[in-house]
Amino acid sequence: MVGGKKVMEKLSPLHEHLSSAKTDFLYFSQTICPYCVRAARTLEANGLSFTEVNLDNYEGLRQEVVRITGHRTVPVVFDIRGDKPIFVGGSDHLLEYL
């Protein structure tokens, strides 16, 4: 608290993406990734909206995603339909999840 007011901490880049997406799912990808294409097609086939964030375009974001999720490969899928994001995993995990 500063001067009786709560100071908001800056959101991490991962949390900024999760909180700003206005879709059912968000997944992190890379440019050449057949499993990312598979995740997108799976979501489309189930009538679910999604946001794709390409890790190649954000310096340091991949390291943060790995640090927070422990998931080292792409895609890294989150279900963001509820109040709190749910880490689903990769494309195989997404198939099981849906």
**Residue 51 phi/psi, 5° resolution?**
-115, 130
* For residues 34-59, average pLDDT: 95
Residues 66/89, Cβ–Cβ less than 8 Å? no
Q: In this predicted model, which residue has the larger pLDDT, 91 or 6? A: 91
Domain definitions of the chain by residue range: 23-97
Top-level class of domain 23-97: alpha beta
Rounded distance between C-alpha atoms, residue 17 and residue 49, angstroms: 15
Rounded distance between C-alpha atoms, residue 72 and residue 62, angstroms: 9
For residue 10, name the pLDDT band (cuts at 50, 70, 90): low
Percentage of residues in the chain having pLDDT higher than 90: 60
For residue 5, name the pLDDT band (cuts at 50, 70, 90): very low
In DSSP terms, 78 is beta-bridged to 26, 87
For residue 79, give the nearest of 34, 41, 48 by alpha carbon: 48
